[in-house]
Chains A and B, each alone.
Chain A
Amino acid sequence: MKRIIFWTLVVALLALAPLVLRSYNLYLLNLAAVKVIAAVGLALLTGFTGQLSIGHAGFLAIGAYGTALLAQYFGIPFWVGIPLAGLLSGLAGFILLIPALRLSAIYLAIATLAFGTAVAEALPRWASVTGGYQGMRVPRANLFGLDVQNDVAMFYLALAMVVVLILMARNLVRSRVGRAFIAIRDKSAAAQACGVSLARYKALAFFVSALYAGLAGGLYAHVVGYISPAEFGLAKSIDLFIMIALGGMASLPGPVLGALFLTYLPHWLSGFRGLQSIIYGASLIGIVIFMPFGIWGFVRKWTAPDKVRAMPRPLRAVVEFVQGGASRG
């Protein structure tokens, strides 16, 4: 009960943010929301289910371009276009199920890398529709004749999406679905012996994860108003992976903290001219060394020390992926 009150207060305070924050700060928060949604989706797949993906920017691209193109060519409003493009991205997630049922660990990661690269390469080549390397302007968001393409309106859209999608992720994680995901990650043979269908639950993980990335992409398109293929390259996929690895990928607060941290760190550092990259890199290394359970694990160490001992270490998980090879299935 206390928790419900706490989180309701947090959301209520956030809802008041446009009263005090300047437009640019709202814009930053909107970008953070995009990353939070995508990171939570990736954490469900990689952190919970153990399916390493470094091609998630491909799903962001499908969501962003899907939303933009649906508006541009069919006049579909953003509040239909974003969910529709998200669904399209979710369905595209099934493409990765094919390698996921045959490959494990690092080999699957390479297949996801190939997917992400293929999307990033296809977009500029389909120039007649997507505007090529130059990118395309996203038609202005319009709510029943009212122009809502501004940072305040987008802030409320972003806030609503973040709240709903995190709640849904939390519901899933606390149900038999979350246990099935973790079972597949930790012991796939025992998972099957408990009645978990690897095909069904891996498909679900890829679908939900790609759906979240697609929705994040759709939101991104309207927050920024202009999209180009370069924003959805390998670097973006790796950024997402770093977010969940730093935050603590086998939890939901982890990817949220990781996404916020990596959105704001570059801005905090913008004063240190020339030293930005060094401090940025050093702080990432520092987190890996001093927070082996991720940022969320570090927080938990003070609030619930008993639970931390049983937390999977995000980066150890990566090492196990690499070493696990065929045995993890």
Chain B
Amino acid sequence: MAERLLAVQGLTKRFGGLTAVDDVSFEVERGEIVGLIGPNGAGKTTVFNLISRFFDPTKGAIEFEGKNLLRAAPHEIVGLGIARTFQNLGLFPYLSVRDNLLAGRHTQFRGSILGLALGMGREEERAAVTEVMAMLDAFGMGALAPMPASMLPYGSQKAVELVRALMAKPRLVLLDEPVAGMNATETQAMGQFIRRVRDERGVTVLLVEHDMSLVMEVCDRIVVLDFGRKIAEGTPHEIQTNPRVVEAYLGEEVDRAPV
């Protein structure tokens, strides 16, 4: 029986005169991989930033596991069970991969700050490092641990960022363009990676992506935005054959004028 994890209700965001997100509603069920797609400027990233609480919505509601997300501050979202990645990479460039992952499990640390200053956090830190290394090894990235994040190839950085999101033990991850700028091989690897995250770790995935090959292959369900409005929702097959979606992406069909 499917269980509702995330519910977005009548979400609207206006920036001055621009309505970036206009009365959008959709749901994500536990264990799904859902794609949020649409042409440039459709409002996809704005939806992510609203769920992350970087902006307050003009109208609407967001519920996660039955809790009102709008009551939470941006830094509280990950503690509620939602982690995310960023379109332009959210890794901390001067931290090693290992330290980036440790930063990803920031909310899991318990030691008091005074205790840390007095050197009492070593045990907890060691345990955390073990956990981080186990996670890296599980995804075959153990060798990257000591590398500064900024020295990794772009594709690896994207993968590390996704692993970092997992360190917080989230139930839902938001992936903002996980394969932007990747070639076909890298894209395929990332697709498998996203599947593994869901299949092996039971993490629900909501992703924004322009690469249709990835979206169609990986997603169970797709929500399509255009000019801030939801214009379609359905399985990849339904979306591919939906005339409104085709119109949004390719433009309206015009009667052919005689040459």
Contacts and interface: CB of A to CB of B under 8 A. Distances in A.
Interface of A: 167-168, 171-172, 174-177, 179-180, 182-183, 186-187, 189-198, 204, 250, 309-312
For the complex of A and B, 4 pairs with smallest distance between CB atoms: A310-B148, A190-B90, A195-B107, A192-B74
A168 B120 CA distance: 11
A310 B78 contact: no
Contact of B99 (A179, A190, A198): A179
Contact of B151 (A168, A250, A309): A309
B195 to A, nearest CB: 23
Nearest to A169: B117
B106 interface: yes
Contacts of A183: 92, 95, 103, 106
B73 to A, nearest CB: 7
A238 B79 CA distance: 40
Nearest to B52: A193
Given A183-B103, A193-B84, A311-B94, A175 B116 contact: yes
A204 B113 contact: yes
Contact of B94 (A186, A192, A193): A186
Nearest to B49: A189
Interface of B: 52, 54, 73-79, 83-84, 86, 90-96, 99, 102-104, 106-107, 109, 111, 113, 116-119, 121, 125, 148, 150-151, 164, 168
A171 B119 contact: yes
Given A190-B90, A193-B74, A176 B109 contact: yes
B206 to A, nearest CB: 14
Contacts of B83: 193
A182 B118 contact: no
Given A179-B95, A204-B113, A310 B103 contact: no
Given A172-B116, A176-B106, A176-B116, A310 B75 contact: no
Nearest to A311: B94
Contacts of A177: 113, 116
A196 B75 contact: yes
A198 B77 CA distance: 14
14 contacts: A171-B121, A176-B121, A179-B92, A182-B92, A192-B54, A193-B83, A194-B78, A195-B107, A195-B168, A198-B75, A204-B113, A310-B94, A310-B150, A310-B151
B86 A189 contact: yes
B75 A192 contact: yes
A326 to B, nearest CB: 14
Contact of A250 (B75, B94, B106, B111): B94
Contacts of B118: 168, 171
B220 to A, nearest CB: 24
Contacts of A191: 75, 92, 103
B121 A189 contact: no
A171 B117 contact: yes
Given A179-B106, A196-B75, A186 B113 contact: no
Given A192-B75, A310-B94, A310-B148, A176 B102 contact: yes
B214 to A, nearest CB: 22
Contacts of B75: 191-192, 195-198
Given A176-B103, A187-B92, A194-B168, 7 more contacts: A186-B93, A189-B86, A190-B91, A193-B52, A194-B107, A195-B79, A309-B151
B113 A179 contact: no
A189 B54 contact: yes
Nearest to B161: A190
B86 to A, nearest CB: 6
B78 A195 contact: yes
B93 to A, nearest CB: 6
A222 B240 CA distance: 78
| Residue among B94, B107, B117 with the highest chain A CB neighbour number at 10 A | B117
Contacts of B52: 192-193
B78 A193 contact: yes
B94 A195 contact: no
A310 B150 CA distance: 8
A167 B76 CA distance: 31
A300 to B, nearest CB: 13
A312 B94 contact: yes
A184 to B, nearest CB: 10
Contacts of A182: 92, 94-95
B86 A190 contact: yes
Nearest to B149: A310
| Residue among A175, A193, A311 with the highest chain B CB neighbour number at 10 A | A193
Contacts of B151: 309-310
A241 to B, nearest CB: 20
A193 B121 contact: no
A189 to B, nearest CB: 7
A186 B106 CA distance: 16
